[in-house]
Chain A
Amino acid sequence: DIQMTQSPSSLSASVGDRVTITCRASQSISSYLNWYQQKPGKAPNLLIYGASSLQSGVPSRFSGSGSGTDFTLTISSLQPEDFATYYCQQSYSAPLYTFGQGTKLEI
């Protein structure tokens, strides 16, 4: 099974900050990496797919990069509504997708 490891597990930041979250795969997954945002009591929302493609309707302050085993999600200028938990997900071993453990972004 492919294991996904995110860092950090939690992160404190302020409105306007640039933030980067990292995800590492236990083996190469090419660019089959997706990022989600989840707010309390809500279902996850797809932000980035294919490592760097912005899902329709997602603000351009979100961006993703990486390939192989190392990936990053960057929020260029944090907005109040961005404080949430973020998950990476590999889709290389489709349909057995696996998630990272999550990164909680706090004020």
Chain B
Amino acid sequence: EVQLVESGGGLVQPGGSLRLSCAASGFDFSSYEMNWVRQAPGKGLEWISYSSSSGITIYYADSVKGRFTISRDNAKNSLYLQMNSLRAEDTAVYYCARPQAGYSGYDYWGQGTLVTVSS
């Protein structure tokens, strides 16, 4: 069974840092691209970052570029999101999501981890 489990969320002050993790199981993680998607309270879904299966090709949404860093450890079946210089508007539930083949959407999502940026 495919599982994605996020962790690392919590309360952080503006300007602070946090590292999110996504533990994958039930599939060959090293063969799959992965993404981070977030959802601010009461708002819609926002794609924020992508990693190729090797971790070599990476993309970011403009809203997080220069502040967030996506990485992965295929030996540990894990995806990460290092978040620096956090702002109040980064408050959201953060999901990792696996795309299915053929540009056909994300077929598996984690349960999400809540990040709250507040003083």
A interface residues with partner B (beta carbon < 8 Å): 32, 34, 36, 38, 42-46, 49-50, 53, 55, 87, 89, 91-92, 94-102
Contact = CB atoms under 8 A, between A and B. Distances in A.
Contacts of B44: 87, 99-102
Given A43-B112, A49-B104, A53-B104, 18 more contacts: A34-B105, A36-B105, A43-B111, A44-B95, A44-B106, A46-B105, A46-B106, A50-B102, A50-B104, A55-B107, A87-B44, A94-B99, A94-B103, A95-B59, A95-B99, A96-B47, A99-B44, A102-B45
Nearest to B107: A46
A13 to B, nearest CB: 20
Contacts of B45: 36, 38, 44, 87, 89, 99, 102
B50 interface: yes
B50 A95 contact: yes
